[in-house]
Chains A and B, each alone.
Chain A
Amino acid sequence: MGRMRFLCDVDRCIDCGGCVVACKEGHQIPVGVNRRRVITINEGKPGEKSISVACMHCSDAPCIAVCPVDALYQREDGIVLVNKDVCIGCGYCFFACPFGAPQFPKGNSFGARGVMDKCTFCAGGPAENFSDKEKRLYGQNRIAEGKAPLCASMCATKALLAGDADKIANIYRERGFKRGSGANAWGWDKAYNKK
């Protein structure tokens, strides 16, 4: 089984926000919760860069390490999921996460925050595949359907890659090569081919 990963190509991301919209709409995510978001730096200046980030599904994930109730777990393919029946909403995973991925909707009891919600890599949750409970708590299960996550699937510039680690790393490497650096830089074949 492959190891699922996200990769965002900062040279391609144009801050269109399509991934965010696709995720929110596709999983019926409540207001105030953002499983995925786009960050832009140097906005309006030369060298502007954007990057789309959700849960990175880390190996040796800090959120799993700090969870006091063991609500988080990692699948064999590397996808990190939360069991919302077990989560108590303490927020420790948020303190531990380097990417600010865990999100907490406003709860009903004393205005305390509810249980954690985060990117599932579109792999649903611990509930039975395609069940109503899974859809209600975790959203779609596109992985079980054999599809790539929504965000990466609809990315207009294909900046956001999701899938098997080796495959997306290859795509990114080939891209970098074609885009031009070193011996493959623009104009080099014409200008420097003949000594």
Chain B
Amino acid sequence: MRRILFVTLIMFLLLMAAVYSAENDTVQPIFSNSKYNNSIENYKIITEHFTGEWQKYGEPFTILQKEYVRKIYFWILIAIPGIFVLHYLVIGPKKFPHEGNKYLVFTVFNRAVHWLTAISFLTLTVSGLIMIFGKYFGGGSLVRTFRFIHFPSAVIFVPLGLVMLLMWLREMIIAPGDITWFFKFGGYLSKKTENIMPVGKFNPGQKSWFWLGTLGGFVMAYTGYYMYSFAASTDNLRIYAIIHNFLGMAMLIMFLVHLYMSLFAIKGSLKSMLTGYKYEDEIRIMHCRFYSKLSGKDCSK
């Protein structure tokens, strides 16, 4: 009797299990599910496995790279120095007799950071430009070598850029009158040095170069790291490459401006970054507010 009861119980449990599983059968009949039979759907899923929707970022990247990037860089390298030559011939450089007291404007630390950053930045710029115009250098091992230099230069640049950011942060904060300075180019389009607008230790041109050089440099480093490592989705790599190449243009322009101002437009500028000293007469005119702060005297012209 017990045996019969036991078997009946087992049978009952099995029946219940069968009913339960039949009710919860989640497998859909093959042909009723259109999701699996729509070849357009299938092709979409297949496409996702490659590099994403090409038209979204791949096509813009290709068009920009093919039609614009190299051309814009070429015209930057032609036009900006051209404007400088014109400025030099028409308006001429700013010269100062360099008389009177001299003030230590840049400490040894300031100068060391400036020049180390400058060297790594120059390496980055030159190697980057050689890659962009690689086909005129014939590609191959020469251009490849510059590509290998590009990455370690960035590794050196980033910490120095960070130090520079902290070092000059306070002086570089936007001050009142900086916007109007831009509209009048700070008075640099006039032959008379008296027309140079009063600024603090750094003028708004220097400030914008500072912010672009440091913060822009970090964006370049971030995007460049992924272009180097491929450690992102293809669509992201495409966006990073576009940012890298267009931000590079802005940085190149500002770098050329900085080179022109320091090497040609203001005589003695290079020397002051080497020795750290600036003369009273120059500071009084070029950095009026800074002069008042240093000497306690009025800088009125």
Chain A contact residues, majority secondary structure: loop
Identify whether the interface residues of B are mostly helix, strand, loop, or mixed. Answer: helix
**Total of A-B residue pairs, C-beta within 8 Å:** 112
Query: For the complex, what is the distance from the CA of A109 to the CA of B146, rounded to whole Å?
Result: 12
The interface on chain B, measured as residues whose beta carbon lies within 8 A of the other chain's beta carbons, has a size of: 43
Pick from B42, B54, B58, B138: contact of A86, CB under 8 Å: B138
- Residue B62 interfacial (CB < 8 Å): yes
Give min CB distance, B206 to chain A, whole Å. 32
A112 touches B50 (CB 8 A): no
Q: For residue A97, which residues in chain B have a CB less than 8 angstroms away from its CB?
A: 51, 58
A66 at the interface (CB under 8 A from B): yes
Expressed in whole angstroms, the Cα–Cα distance for A115 and B141 within the complex equals: 10
CA–CA, A45 to B35, complex, Å?
A: 11
How many residues of chain A get a CB closer than 8 Å to chain B's CBs?
38
Q: List the A residue with the shortest CB-CB distance to B237.
A: A95
Binding-face segment, A46-54, A130-138, A156-164, A185-193: A46-54
Bound-complex Cα distance A94 to B179 (A): 43
Contact B151 A96 (CB under 8 A): no
Residue ID in chain B nearest A104 by CB atoms: B230
- A69 interface hit (Cβ, 8 Å): yes
**Complex interface bits, B40-78 against A, C-beta within 8 A gives 1, otherwise 0:** 001001100111001000110110011000100000000
Contacts of B147 in A (CB 8 A): 88-90, 112
Which of B19-46 touch A at CB < 8 Å?
28, 30, 33, 35-37, 39, 42, 45-46
A-to-B contact residues, CB < 8 Å: 10, 39, 41-42, 45-47, 49, 51, 53, 62, 65-66, 68-71, 85-92, 94-100, 104, 109-110, 112-113, 115
Given contacts A112-B147, A115-B144, 9 further A-B contacts (CB under 8 A): A10-B46, A41-B49, A47-B30, A86-B139, A92-B65, A95-B238, A97-B51, A98-B51, A98-B54
